[in-house]
């Protein structure tokens, strides 16, 4: 498949109630392993890539290096590849879109794009985030790629106490609809784990909804029943693999 065909195939995987599962990767080696396990698409995790290459999260990985990593992942498999691109390495809409264009050059067919202010607290004003999404969509359209913009809201991620999540749902839904009007392809609500609240978001969203599988999250069947269209695993595959590596190394050196 060419890039356009991969982008269309990836979009088609997002089915409400029958979610595509993305077990997040961090390099070409992990991509190959996950692809051979039966994945239908590949998705990076920003935290995982940063940790695997000696950086902190939050756009600490140099943009040129991240682009090279994306390119290596793309050539490692025939599967569609979407990249966790955090805040597109710029608050400016035009600059962010130009940065995303570099990922298209690398062969990626989609991104995660978050609304938190990277390196600071809080989320971008809605009109600011809408302008940033619209700039990316217009750039991708000019390039003829049906690029999948998975627009993420960090409202729930920044509220560590899940007891506060119910009070954020209406704002999240409003953001999701504004993102859709700006050209987003999907709506990502990381850290939301209450099945009823997830179902409320899914019912209200015109976009396929992405939920992160983390400790405390419902099982896949419950997420499907709630209307989720995409399940991802964020940094947890990397953390699990590194813990296994450490245990094996302890057995070698201390066993």
pLDDT tens for 95-147 read 999 999 999 999 999 999 999 999 998 999 999 999 999 999 999 999 999 99
pLDDT tens for each residue of 15-44: 999 999 999 999 999 999 999 999 999 999
* Contact between residue 173 and residue 205 where contact means Cβ atoms under 8 Å apart: yes
Q: Which residues of 107-117 are buried (b: 16+ CB within 10 A; e: fewer)?
A: bbbbbbbbbbe
With a CB cutoff of 8 Å and minimum separation 6, the contacts of 81 are 6, 31, 41, 42, 43, 44, 70, 73, 74, 107, 108, 109, 110
Measured CA to CA, the distance from residue 214 to residue 61 in angstroms comes to 24
pLDDT at 255: 76
Q: Which residues pair with 114 in a beta bridge?
A: 152
Q: Please report how the helices 126-143 and 169-182 are oriented relative to each other, as an axis angle in degrees rounded to 10.
A: 30
With a CB cutoff of 8 Å and minimum separation 6, the contacts of 120 are none
Q: What is the pTM of this model?
A: 0.97
Percent with pLDDT over 70 in the chain: 100
pLDDT tens for each residue of 37-67: 999 999 999 999 999 999 999 999 999 999 9
pLDDT tens for each residue of 169-220: 999 999 999 999 999 999 999 999 999 999 999 999 999 999 999 999 999 9
* Sequential DSSP letters for 84-130: E-TTTT-SSHHHHHHHHHHHHHTT--EEEEE-B-TTSSSB--HHHHH
Task: Identify the band that residue 11 occupies on the pLDDT scale cut at 50, 70 and 90.
Answer: very high
| 22: three-class secondary structure by DSSP | strand
**C-alpha 233 chain-centroid distance:** 9
What are the DSSP E strand ranges found in 132-241? 148-152, 186-188, 209-212, 230-232
Measured CA to CA, the distance from residue 240 to residue 194 in angstroms comes to 24
Q: How many CB atoms lie within 10 A of CB 198?
A: 24
Task: Identify the band that residue 160 occupies on the pLDDT scale cut at 50, 70 and 90.
Answer: confident
Percent with pLDDT over 90 in the chain: 98
HSE, side-chain direction, 13 A CA sphere, residue 244: 6
Q: Tell me which fold the domain 3-254 belongs to.
A: TIM Barrel (3.20.20)
* Contact between residue 202 and residue 209 where contact means Cβ atoms under 8 Å apart: yes
Structure tokens at 180: 């859709």
Query: Which contiguous run of DSSP H or E holds residue 20?
Result: strand 20-22
């Amino acid at each position: 498949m060419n890039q356009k065909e991969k982008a269309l195939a990836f979009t088609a995987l997002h089915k409400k109630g029958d979610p595509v599962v993305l077990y997040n990767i961090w390099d070409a080696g992990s991509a190959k392993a996950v692809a051979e396990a039966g994945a239908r698409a590949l998705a990076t995790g920003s935290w995982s890539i940063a940790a695997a290459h000696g950086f902190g999260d939050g756009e600490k990985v140099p943009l040129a290096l991240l682009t090279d990593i994306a390119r290596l992942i793309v050539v490692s498999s025939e599967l569609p590849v979407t990249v966790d691109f955090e805040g597109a390495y710029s608050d400016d809409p035009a600059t962010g879109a130009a940065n995303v264009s570099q990922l298209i050059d690398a062969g990626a067919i989609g991104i995660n794009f978050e609304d938190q202010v990277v390196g600071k607290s809080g989320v971008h004003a809605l009109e600011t985030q809408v302008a940033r999404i619209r700039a990316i969509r217009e750039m991708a359209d000019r390039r003829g790629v049906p690029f999948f913009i998975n627009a993420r809201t960090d409202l729930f991620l920044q509220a560590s106490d899940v007891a506060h999540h119910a009070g954020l749902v209406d704002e999240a839904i409003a953001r999701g609809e504004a993102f859709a009007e700006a050209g987003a392809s999907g709506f990502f609500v990381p850290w939301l784990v209450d099945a009823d609240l997830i179902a409320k978001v899914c019912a209200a969203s015109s976009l396929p909804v992405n939920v992160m599988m983390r400790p405390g999250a419902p099982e896949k069947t419950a997420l499907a029943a709630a209307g989720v269209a995409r399940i991802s695993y964020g940094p947890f595959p990397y953390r699990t693999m590194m813990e296994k590596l450490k245990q094996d190394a302890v057995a070698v050196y201390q066993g």
